[in-house]
Amino acid sequence: MSGVGLAHAMPLLAALAAGLMIGVERGWQQRGQPAGSRVAGVRTFALLGLTGGLSAVLGIIVHPLLTVVLAGAACTLLLLGYRREGERSITNLLAATIALGLGLLAGAGQPALAVGAAAVVTLLLAARSKLHGLLDRLDPTDVQAFARYAVIVAAVLPFLPNRQFGPYGAWNPFQLWLVAVLVTGFSFAGYIADRWVGASKGVLATALIGGAYSSTAVTASMARQLGTGSAGPFAAGIALATSVMFVRVLLLVGLLTPSTFVPFVLLVGPAALTAWGAAIWLWRRSGTAVGGSGDEASPGNPIELVPALTFVGVVAAGALLTRWAQARFGAGGTALSLFITGSFDVDAAIVTLSQLPRTAVAREVAALALAGTIFANMVLKIGIAAAYGRAKAKTAVLALLASTAVLVTGGGVAAARLF
């Protein structure tokens, strides 16, 4: 086969494959219908894809008008066939149209994109029953959470300028909101998982999932349960939520400021391992009981626009403070400003660091400042657990103190080496 022939054969094969994939799913869905009652089955969908590819190729080789004529004829036949059979499902007609369109895309020189899109369409069509079951389980709060996150991601981010503004060039609107999208995405993912998994798996599952977006909230809620004498492994839940917090912060640092990750993980890693060890020990000590549904310990809907805007404000203020401190006091001022920002929100400090030039502060110093923000958060949770859970939260407090002690020890060693 010549090079020219091979160049046209590959798009045609991709067009045929795209139609065939969709056709297999549609044929399976309609397998119970009487023979001859279906407008389009496996073969028709495959031929539709091939027709689209052939139309595009002939338009390139002969004349673009051929593409219009052949594709238009295929669409007309589809419409006539569905009208004659009285087909009420618009899904079948749309699937057939998409198969034709993906064939055109493959023939126009994008075979990989066409096959990939066909795979996604096939998956979406095959997930019909699961999607309908999911919709039946949604409540107004779930729909509002999805709508709010859609606004945060799609209605704001694409329209923000991606350049520096403000005093000291401290603010990049696109980057600020992008990180708000990322952090809120952690919250949304945790909320969805808590909504569909935590309620059925109990307190420990709720702690595992809830810790991904608010270990402090989980600590407060479960400590209250301990204080009221509720049955369940709430102490293990508090320790587990904190363990997840360590993983979450490590992931954020790795994603947003990779150059800080190695010194940060060396500093925080031992404390994280201690937290996980304490959580596993308390879990085993509590036995296999899950203790309730976990609904009481589940934080509410995290997708609130006002908190999202507040987070962006904290990050913007932290960025300005850090740039000012850098200009006025050098690297030492930058590290101090990171610690101050992180005392209000650990994520804000990580975001602020990610927006600084690589030379603004030594990575070891930045890691130490971020570790200090975790220390402040741990002290807060220890106070919450002791205040709400009182004597019944003793084991939870001890677990938090253990990881905090390891963190302080590592921080002291690192500080002595640096200063």
pLDDT at 219 over 60: yes
Q: How far apart are CA 223 and CA 384, in angstroms?
A: 7
The rounded distance, in Å, linking the Cα atoms of 334 and 325 is 5
Q: Who's near 72: CB < 8 A, 6+ residues apart?
A: none
Q: What is the pLDDT of residue 393?
A: 81
Q: What is the predicted pLDDT for the residue at 44?
A: 84
Do 250 and 257 contact (CB within 8 A), yes or no?
A: no
Cβ atoms 338, 370 nearer than 8 A: yes
Structure tokens at 366: 């930045």
What average pLDDT score do residues 219-241 get? 79
229: left (phi over 0), alpha (psi -120 to 50) or beta: left
Cα–chain center distance at 220: 25
The arithmetic mean of pLDDT across residues 97-124, rounded, is 90
List of residues 6+ apart from 330 with CB closer than 8 A:
none
pLDDT higher than 50, residue 289: no
Distances (CA, A) of 374 to 149, 238, 250: 27, 16, 11
pLDDT (0 to 100) of residue 202:
56
Least confident window among 127-131, 260-264, 384-388? 127-131
C-alpha distances in Å from residue 263, one per residue of 143, 259, 302, 348, 364: 41, 9, 31, 19, 6
Of the pLDDT bands very low, low, confident and very high (cuts 50, 70, 90), residue 298 is very low
List pLDDT tens digits, range 314-329: 667 766 766 665 566 5
What is the rounded CA–CA span in Å between residue 419 and residue 370? 17
What are 78-94's pLDDT values in tens digits?
777 777 655 556 778 88
Match 């804000």 to its residue by tokens. 348
The mean-pLDDT minimum among 206-215, 333-342, 352-361 falls in 333-342
Q: Give mean pLDDT, residues 113-125.
A: 89
28 vs 179, higher pLDDT:
28
- Joined together, the tokens standing for residue 223 give 């400590």
Which two three-digit tokens encode residue 400? 């938090």
Which of residues 418 and 373 earns the better pLDDT score?
373
Supply the DSSP symbol for 1.
Answer: -
Nearest Cα neighbor of 208 from 154, 275, 265, 157 is 275
**pLDDT at residue 270, rounded to an integer:** 92
Task: Give bridge partners of residue 165 from the DSSP assignment.
Answer: 171
Q: Where are the alpha helices (DSSP H) in 257-299?
A: 258-286
The conformational region for residue 63 under phi > 0 = left, psi -120 to 50 = alpha, else beta, is beta
Identity at 390, one-letter amino acid code: R
2-6, 257-261, 412-416: which has the minimum mean pLDDT? 2-6
User: In the prediction, which pLDDT does 63 show?
Assistant: 85
Residue 84 has what pLDDT?
63
Smallest Cα–Cα separation from 185: which of 248, 134, 136, 141? 248
| Cα separation, 135 vs 138, whole angstroms | 5
Contact 187, 213 (CB under 8 A): yes
| Mean of per-residue pLDDT scores for the chain | 76
3 contacts: CB under 8 Å, gap ≥ 6: none
Q: CA angle, 292 as apex, 289 and 298 as ends, to 5°?
A: 120
DSSP symbol at 28 = H
151 in the Ramachandran plot: left (φ > 0), alpha (ψ -120 to 50) or beta? alpha
Please state, in angstroms and rounded to a whole number, the distance separating the CA atoms of residues 160 and 174. 5
How far is residue 406 from each of residues 124, 333, 379, measured CA to CA in Å? 48, 26, 13
Which residue type occupies 177?
Answer: W
- H/E stretch holding 140: helix 140-150
User: Which of these ranges, 99-103, 230-234, 266-270, 406-410, has the smallest mean pLDDT?
Assistant: 230-234
- Residue 209 one-letter amino acid: I
Backbone angles phi, psi at 364, to 5 degrees: -65, -40
d(Cα 64, Cα 66) in Å, to the nearest integer?
5
